[in-house]
Amino acid sequence: MELAAKHFKASAAKALVDVQLQKALGNVEKGFIGKRQKAAAALPEFDALRDNARDIKNHVLAHLDLYLEEYERKVTASGGIVHWAETAEDARRIVLEICQKAGARTVTKGKSMITEEIALNDHLSANGIEPVETDLGEYIIQLRGEHPSHIIAPAVHLNKEQVEGDFRRVHTHLPEGRDLSDPVSLLGEAREVLRQRYFAADVGITGANFLIAETGTSVIVTNEGNGDLTQTLGKIHVVVASIEKIVPTLEDTSQILRVLARSATGQDMSVYTTFSTGPKRADDPDGPDQYHVVLLDNGRSAMLGTEYQDMLRCIRCGACMNHCPVYHAVGGHAYGSVYPGPMGAVLTPSLNGIEETGQLPNASTFCGRCEAVCPMRIPLPKMMRHWREREFERNLTPLTGRYGLKFWAFFAKRPKLYRLAVSFGVPLLSVFGGSSKRFRSLPFAGGWTRHRDLPAPEGRTFLQAWAQREALKQEPAQ
């Protein structure tokens, strides 16, 4: 998709006043948080599993070249074909070639963020091949010409009336008077329509949650079963996956699966966890004749050995955005990038460059909830701070921010002057704050006070309060 991350501020402002969107975003906050909390609390070993999941991925990243070699060997041994893609463009070209060679006219697709990342659908369409999304949420947003607003719940920004409108607009072969008033009838209709597409498709494309080196296996984790129909009914199964999806063994996969579903949807297990190894065997009555894996780098190798390496542990569970106050306020589309929320704010600049995406690492209140819930213990706030520093170093921060910081730095570097200035300024602000102790507007801080009040200082500076606290500590206990 085309990046619009530069416009984050403007898009966020629009999202904040979109009544329908705000209602839909309430579902994210209500639905996901409680379910995850319950599932995590019901498993005493949850935190120990998070530690182990983190360690497994760190081990993989330290031996990535060797595990990739082993994985490739095993895929080949089971009759599959591995294609290496350095860039998104390479991956698009490889998938198109596979489809063209098969004379494909339509391809079905399981839900996959990686094919969003490489903008595969546009490329196939431009070359006369129709891509059909089969995950219900993905299907809906494809009908609308939109992109996913959430990595596991792509249509979470919509309500059922909007979906009904889209189905009536597109499914014109169905009777006009039919009832589409609730999610059950909407799902029923999508099921009927898509059933025919699976059988008609020449190629089925899926992503992968894991690639297992021990066995050369790709794994998808879903609830609907659409990914399975996609990869079983097409004559060719193409997996598009990035290099960091590797895990060593079946056991390692199981360890991470235990934290994945709980963090994502609050389930102990998703309904379908499917392990696929090679094409169908000689005596198999169903399954694809060919099995291809497109292994994509697209900027990941450049993250290895940097302060962003930890991001490569991400398993795309969505917990960080489900718990993010900024995501709750503006939704996924405002980020203007394929990956929204905290994980997107860290990953997008790594993949697309900070020049294009500079505002994203600022889309954070640094409340730390994302890191607290991340099953892979990825220090997201720390990495957003790294990006902010880089952005500043490169003079990409907006002028007001730069001058403000310079002004502050002038005083901060001169402690005596700083203390003198704040010891005058703070009591003054405290008095102006009035009895409510809040400012509803402040000169030079309109960006802050337009949407919320600024608490007035309590009358003492931090340093004065600290000095007093230390003095109290030294007094003998009462």
315 binds, among ligand SF4, other proteins, none (CB under 5 to 8 A by kind): ligand SF4
Give backbone dihedrals phi and psi of 10, rounded to 5 degrees, phi first. Answer: -65, -45
Classify strands 130-133 and 106-109 as parallel, antiparallel or unpaired.
parallel
Applying the rule CB under 8 A, the residues between 146 and 175 that interact with other proteins are: 153-156, 158-160, 163
109 binds, among ligand SF4, other proteins, none (CB under 5 to 8 A by kind): none
Give backbone dihedrals phi and psi of 320, rounded to 5 degrees, phi first. Answer: -65, -40
Task: Quote the crossing angle between the two packed helices 136-144 and 183-200, to the nearest 10°.
Answer: 90
Stretch that binds other proteins, among 9-17, 215-223, 339-347, 459-467 (CB under 8 A): 215-223
Stretch that binds other proteins, among 26-34, 362-370, 407-415, 445-453 (CB under 8 A): 26-34
Q: Does 135 bind other proteins (CB under 8 A)?
A: yes
Applying the rule CB under 8 A, the residues between 272 and 291 that interact with other proteins are: 272-281, 283-287
Give backbone dihedrals phi and psi of 249, rounded to 5 degrees, phi first. Answer: -130, 175
What token pair was written down for 207? 């992503």
- Judged on CB neighbours under 10 Å (0-12, 13-18, 19+), 347 is buried
CA 155 to chain centre: 14
- Strand, coil or helix: what is 112? coil
User: What is the chain's percent helix, strand, coil content, to nearest 5?
Assistant: 55, 10, 35
Beta bridge partners of 295: 84, 241
| Site size with other proteins, rule: CB under 8 A | 101
Rounded to a whole number of angstroms, the minimum distance from the CB of residue 379 to other proteins is 19
Q: Among residues 8 and 210, whose Cβ is nearest to other proteins?
A: 210
Q: Does 226 bind other proteins (CB under 8 A)?
A: yes
Q: Among residues 34 and 325, whose Cβ is nearest to other proteins?
A: 34
Rounded to a whole number of angstroms, the minimum distance from the CB of residue 27 to other proteins is 5
- Strand, coil or helix: what is 294? strand
Q: Does 176 bind other proteins (CB under 8 A)?
A: no
Q: Among residues 165 and 401, whose Cβ is nearest to other proteins?
A: 165
Q: Does 378 bind ligand SF4 (CB under 6 A)?
A: yes
43 binds, among other proteins, ligand SF4, none (CB under 5 to 8 A by kind): other proteins
Q: Does 193 bind other proteins (CB under 8 A)?
A: no
Residue whose structure tokens are 């602000």: 429
Site string for other proteins, 256-275 (x = CB under 8 A): -xx------x-xxxxxxxxx
Q: How far apart are CA 146 and CA 123, in angstroms?
A: 16
What token pair was written down for 163? 């979906």
Q: Does 302 bind other proteins (CB under 8 A)?
A: yes
Among 316, 333, 369, 388, binds ligand SF4 (CB under 6 A): 316
Q: Which helix (H) or strand (E) holds 275?
A: strand 272-276
Q: Does 384 bind ligand SF4 (CB under 6 A)?
A: no
Q: Does 343 bind ligand SF4 (CB under 6 A)?
A: yes
Applying the rule CB under 8 A, the residues between 306 and 365 that interact with other proteins are: 306
Stretch that binds ligand SF4, among 225-233, 234-242, 354-362, 370-378 (CB under 6 A): 370-378
267 contacts 255 by C-beta, under 8 angstroms: no
386 contacts 308 by C-beta, under 8 angstroms: yes
Q: Does 49 bind ligand SF4 (CB under 6 A)?
A: no
